[in-house]
Structure 1
Amino acid sequence: MEIRAGKWRKVSLFCPKYTAVFLFLVVFAVYFLQRNINLLETPAVANVTAVHQLFQNKTTPTTPVPNRQHINCSHHQLLPEERRLLDSIAWPETPRLPVPISLKTTSDPAHSTFTILPVRAGGQWHVGDELEALIQIRDFQGRPKHFGGDLVIARLHDRTLGAGVAGRVVDHLNGSYTAVFPLLWEGRAQVEVTLVHPSEAISVLHRLTMEQPNRLSYFSLFRSGSVSETVACNECLPPTQPLCNYTDLHTGEPWFCYKPKNLSCDTRITHFRGSPKHNLMAKEETLFRSGVNMKVSIRASGCNNITVLPKEKGQPEVKSSTVKPEPAGYYYQGAWRALGGATVHQFNNPSAISQCLTDKVVHMYGDSTIRQWFEYLNSVLPDLKEFNLHSAKRTGPFMSVDMARNILVKYRPHAPPLSWTVIPANELHYVANELDGIVGGSRTVVVLSVWAHFGSYPIEVYLRRLLSIRRAVLRLLDRAPDTLVVIRTANLRALTLGIALTNSDWYTLQQDRALRAVFKGLNVHLVDAWDMVLAHHLPHEIHPRPPIIKNMIDVLLSYICPQEKA
């Protein structure tokens, strides 16, 4: 073996004179390659901090991490794409809260009002028009607020018709808001406006997320023989003692546990959640009072309903709105009708559902809101039998089979953070890794829902998880373009003080916006759980009630069988 450089003479690399140099170069090259091979193979870890690069064991993710390093929720510098996504979902800035808080200067739904704006021309509303309502937020002294940032939601509905549509709320950043609704049915339509959180409460939620990202505590049981220890774990874990590093080698997703005193890192048995700890400042809890200033209706100044006439000749059913995004659909006679995209069919009996799913494999990954879909299909399809995998009732994985129709439906939870029960550590699988194990094809359906356990973390943590899944979805669609991928979005839920501080609708809204931004432009389909829960008359719940779930399944099946007539 020899090299040539310009006019210089040939030099044998095996000449004893150069042997030491050659060996040094080889050793350095191997070391450098070993240090960086994961970065070359996995874009997700291209910007993981030196902490992860230095202490990540290449054969097992259980290497103790010296506590001299600082580890927090950031873990890497934001890429330009991530910064752009964060900027697109930024919430309006609000003035700094006084210490202590004075409730009388904060947003009060009882003093706030909304007014239906008059029709611009003709004096009547027709199907295809838009209705606007002006909302004025006032404080507990009845004085108009002069800045925005409140979380306000709105819907237009009629219980008699079983009709409802989510409104789009525009923040004018001066204490006033406009709710915009498309008029989609004839007859009566009533406006409902709700203050979910005053802007002052959102400032507290933002502070908690930045200062206390580990306020939801997690633990793992370690055991070897008769020796067992339980230690704290988290994505954001202060390195006050040696850590076990469970960062996923493929996705780069970080997770840590404190190293047990008498056991090794590879003796980890289970994962579970502890009690939340919230360090609120004086009087901050007064900003989260149900029935006072958290998820409370705002009254109308004047009439709160209108009568919608048939559409005028030549007028489209729905005009394109200047307020984006437009609603995904609406309810009429209790059934969901999509606005754009695939037509939603009604799958009202087991035979129609079974016919649609015949010869299909349905993979469901995520949190309990997608497990609810798995449970629904099992409850309505008598021939779909759950195979006993001896999994814990609320944990999974689960698998159901209809042998006669060749239907297979599977569910697996996502990796940490998970909050609902004790789960074996070896069942903590990252969704991206699961997707990379799917062959895909025209008979494969992938259903995802990952959001409900990320509320207590900075949005960057959730965004990183989404981008990891996005890359895996792209790889799946590259090798099997006819694979159907359906994503369930986040939805509103009932709020108490404890739930609001870790899983507020404000956190959920940020996640919902991030998810839509990350998957925009990909060949994936959304089931818009946010709009479907907001538009319905049933109460907001983390696990929506059966009528809403039935409509969600109808949307899913309409994607799977777009020509099916139920």
Structure 2
Amino acid sequence: MTITDFKDLLSLVNISTSVISMRNNKSEVRIGDDVIVDIDLYSGRGGRSTRGGDMLRVWLREPSRHASVSGYVIDHDNGSYTGVVKAMWAGNPELIFSIANTKEHIGIFMNIVHKHGLIKFLRARFMKGNLTEITLCSIIPNIPDVTDYCNFTTQNFNFSFYCGKPKHMNLDCEDWVLYAASSNYSCNMKNKALMQNRYISKEIGTVKVLADSGSGTKGESDTSCHDVISKQTWQTSNPTGYFYKGKWRSLICKPSLTWTYKSYAKCLKNRPVLMTGDSTTRNWYVSLTKLLNLTIFDGRHEIKDAAWQKFAEAGNNTKSLSLYWTPHEIPFYGSERIEQNKNNFRSIASRIDNLPGRKRIILILHWYAHLARTTPQQYREHVTSAKQAVVRLLKRSPHSKILVKGPHSYTYNYFVEPFDYISRIYSQILYEEFKDLQDNVYFIDQWDATIANENFDIHPKPALDPIMVNFAFSFICKQ
């Protein structure tokens, strides 16, 4: 059944009226055991939910030990769910539950983006002499109150993109100069109120976790990341790791690289690194440039303006180090206040195709938060385009290493996107599109880590950046 509307907020499933309990009231387990949670959802008025489709979370946390681990939830499609979270350390962790996205949120959001292309429109500024005009843009020519469109698909590297045609008789489509995010949503205020994140967690109870005969924790993988074949990184299960004493303990592998200048200078010598995506990969890039004491500057051939979302370079010729970062294609949401030259945005495929041949390239790919505002089909088209460029890269530079950075969790209440649902769909698309390249491409999963550390902001917590960068590079480098 397609969901296109809702009565009011009390008609939705509600965390305060829902019934959540540990199965068989079992609150004492041993390290490595599963803590099982029975969940029955009720509306704000106390009515029992009889359909599935809501996105839920369960996790364990023990702040005094700086410890946490994420679990997973099974949907029985009748309003009842089962949560499963593995006990990873001895102690007395709290069991936490949250309703991340309601089915109504998901359904209404998906209907809106399929109709209008974006949940939040972009904007274009047209300029000629002293004349200027701003119009709204989307990937589908269906913008309220707009009848005439400029089709910029060809300019956008064949990714669909339409902007309202200027109404001034002396301005035309060819006068498009600047690009920016807009504040205009494609949904009405009622639907925006529904989708605006009211993320609330609820403690179910405390679990007593008993130590086994060995360590006070489940431990971590003994396998060096450098010895893990790339295909394995696409076939992990929950949890992929957990935090203990503030340290991320991966159950996939242990880092084969230390976060030191010496290790990275050795690893990256004569190996150009291109990171693509958004501000989260930009933060990875900045972390690495700081470690290597490199200076970031705009690409030598890029437009100079105030916007940060442009191709950037950093390097040290005497040490044979070269790092690059580039934003992915439009739709990309930068500042609503700072407009930038439309030519700052190029396709990831074109950036990959510009990489030199016969080099041991390191390429990190990422698409998520900006493209969460559009349709899964549009997301797939971006991934497919870059994947084809990866195939071309591996032909001319067969010793290159490719890594795909997956989605991360965040619950900042400014956003309206149902991120838990979208992350699942987009992760599946990444898996499908790179399925035939999984012997050459690594998947960097950070979902469990950002659920476990209760990440709130659009960016993962800053302390996680060097941890995840080092984890990623450990697959392709060693001491």
| TM bin (shorter chain) | 0.7 to 0.9
How far off is 1:215 after superposition?
A: 4.4
**One-letter amino acid matched to 1:257:** C
Q: Name the CA distance, whole Å, in 1 between partners of 2:151 and 2:135.
A: 13
Assess if the C-alpha contact under 8 Å between 2:220 and 2:254 holds in 1. Answer: no
1:482 aligns with 2:399: yes
Assess if the C-alpha contact under 8 Å between 1:158 and 1:189 holds in 2. Answer: yes
Assess if the C-alpha contact under 8 Å between 1:337 and 1:344 holds in 2. Answer: no
The residue number in structure 1 matching 2:177 is 269
| 3-state SS, counterpart of residue 356 of structure 2 | coil
The residue number in structure 1 matching 2:194 is 287
How far off is 1:484 after superposition?
A: 0.9
How far off is 1:409 after superposition?
A: 0.9
The CA RMSD over aligned residues, in Å, is: 3.2
| 3-state SS, counterpart of residue 111 of structure 1 | coil
Q: Name the CA distance, whole Å, in 2 between partners of 1:165 and 1:299.
A: 14
The residue number in structure 2 matching 1:237 is 141
How far off is 1:96 after superposition?
A: 7.0
How far off is 1:241 after superposition?
A: 4.6
Compared with structure 1, are the counterparts of its residues 289 and 487 closer, same or farther at alpha carbon in structure 2 (3 Å cutoff)? closer
**One-letter amino acid matched to 2:428:** R
Q: Name the CA distance, whole Å, in 1 between partners of 2:2 and 2:161.
A: 33
**One-letter amino acid matched to 1:195:** I
The residue number in structure 1 matching 2:434 is 519
Q: Name the CA distance, whole Å, in 2 between partners of 1:408 and 1:161.
A: 40
How far off is 1:526 after superposition?
A: 2.0
Assess if the C-alpha contact under 8 Å between 1:456 and 1:503 holds in 2. Answer: no
The residue number in structure 2 matching 1:510 is 425
The residue number in structure 2 matching 1:339 is 251
Match for residue 53 of structure 2 among 149, 169, 172: 149
Assess if the C-alpha contact under 8 Å between 2:31 and 2:87 holds in 1. Answer: yes
Q: TM-score, normalised by structure 1?
A: 0.71
**One-letter amino acid matched to 2:342:** A
- Residues 239-279 of structure 1: CA distance to partner in whole angstroms, max 9, x if unpaired? 95554332248963222233444245443322112112244
Q: Pick which of 514-523 and 539-548 moved more.
A: 514-523
Compared with structure 1, are the counterparts of its residues 195 and 518 closer, same or farther at alpha carbon in structure 2 (3 Å cutoff)? same
| 3-state SS, counterpart of residue 64 of structure 2 | coil
The residue number in structure 2 matching 1:137 is 41
How far off is 1:416 after superposition?
A: 0.6
Q: Name the CA distance, whole Å, in 1 between partners of 2:213 and 2:374.
A: 47
How do 1:21-170 residues align onto structure 2 when only pairs under 5 Å count?
101-118=7-24, 125-170=29-74
Assess if the C-alpha contact under 8 Å between 2:57 and 2:71 holds in 1. Answer: yes
The residue number in structure 2 matching 1:447 is 364
Count of matched residue pairs: 451
How far off is 1:228 after superposition?
A: 3.6
The residue number in structure 2 matching 1:204 is 108
Match for residue 493 of structure 1 among 404, 407, 410: 410
Q: Name the CA distance, whole Å, in 2 between partners of 1:143 and 1:308.
A: 38
How far off is 1:317 after superposition?
A: 7.3
Compared with structure 1, are the counterparts of its residues 243 and 548 closer, same or farther at alpha carbon in structure 2 (3 Å cutoff)? same
Assess if the C-alpha contact under 8 Å between 1:112 and 1:299 holds in 2. Answer: no
Q: Name the CA distance, whole Å, in 2 between partners of 1:116 and 1:166.
A: 16
1:530 aligns with 2:447: yes
Compared with structure 1, are the counterparts of its residues 451 and 155 closer, same or farther at alpha carbon in structure 2 (3 Å cutoff)? same
The residue number in structure 2 matching 1:53 is none
How far off is 1:286 after superposition?
A: 5.5
How do 1:351-430 residues align onto structure 2 when only pairs under 5 Å count?
351-381=262-292, 383-387=293-297, 389=299, 390=304, 392-421=306-335, 422-430=339-347
The residue number in structure 2 matching 1:557 is 473
Q: TM-score, normalised by structure 2?
A: 0.83
| 3-state SS, counterpart of residue 274 of structure 1 | strand
1:256 aligns with 2:167: no
Assess if the C-alpha contact under 8 Å between 1:106 and 1:140 holds in 2. Answer: yes
- Residues 148-201 of structure 1: CA distance to partner in whole angstroms, max 9, x if unpaired? 111111222333333322211111111111122233334444321111232233
Assess if the C-alpha contact under 8 Å between 1:490 and 1:512 holds in 2. Answer: yes
Structure 1: gaps of 5 or more residues: 1-92
Assess if the C-alpha contact under 8 Å between 1:466 and 1:518 holds in 2. Answer: yes
| 3-state SS, counterpart of residue 392 of structure 1 | coil
Instruction: State the structure with more CA Rg.
Output: 1
The residue number in structure 2 matching 1:29 is none
**One-letter amino acid matched to 2:286:** E
How do 1:292-331 residues align onto structure 2 when only pairs under 5 Å count?
294-300=198-204, 303-310=205-212, 325-331=237-243
Structure 2: gaps of 5 or more residues: 222-234
Assess if the C-alpha contact under 8 Å between 2:126 and 2:171 holds in 1. Answer: yes
How far off is 1:95 after superposition?
A: 6.7
Q: Name the CA distance, whole Å, in 1 between partners of 2:9 and 2:150.
A: 44
Assess if the C-alpha contact under 8 Å between 2:310 and 2:345 holds in 1. Answer: no
Q: Name the CA distance, whole Å, in 2 between partners of 1:227 and 1:446.
A: 42
How far off is 1:507 after superposition?
A: 3.2
Compared with structure 1, are the counterparts of its residues 311 and 233 closer, same or farther at alpha carbon in structure 2 (3 Å cutoff)? farther
The residue number in structure 2 matching 1:68 is none
Q: Name the CA distance, whole Å, in 2 between partners of 1:330 and 1:278.
A: 39
- Residues 66-89 of structure 1: CA distance to partner in whole angstroms, max 9, x if unpaired? xxxxxxxxxxxxxxxxxxxxxxxx
Runs of 4+ with deviation above 6 angstroms:
316-319
How far off is 1:393 after superposition?
A: 4.7
| 3-state SS, counterpart of residue 125 of structure 2 | strand
**One-letter amino acid matched to 1:372:** N
Compared with structure 1, are the counterparts of its residues 172 and 471 closer, same or farther at alpha carbon in structure 2 (3 Å cutoff)? same
How far off is 1:445 after superposition?
A: 0.7
Assess if the C-alpha contact under 8 Å between 1:221 and 1:268 holds in 2. Answer: yes
1:192 aligns with 2:96: yes
Assess if the C-alpha contact under 8 Å between 1:378 and 1:385 holds in 2. Answer: yes
Compared with structure 1, are the counterparts of its residues 346 and 512 closer, same or farther at alpha carbon in structure 2 (3 Å cutoff)? same
The residue number in structure 1 matching 2:226 is none
Compared with structure 1, are the counterparts of its residues 318 and 370 closer, same or farther at alpha carbon in structure 2 (3 Å cutoff)? closer
Assess if the C-alpha contact under 8 Å between 1:363 and 1:409 holds in 2. Answer: yes
Q: Pick which of 328-337 and 429-438 moved more.
A: 328-337
Compared with structure 1, are the counterparts of its residues 117 and 404 closer, same or farther at alpha carbon in structure 2 (3 Å cutoff)? farther
How far off is 1:533 after superposition?
A: 0.9
Q: Pick which of 543-552 and 127-136 moved more.
A: 127-136
Q: Name the CA distance, whole Å, in 2 between partners of 1:458 and 1:379.
A: 36
Compared with structure 1, are the counterparts of its residues 140 and 435 closer, same or farther at alpha carbon in structure 2 (3 Å cutoff)? same
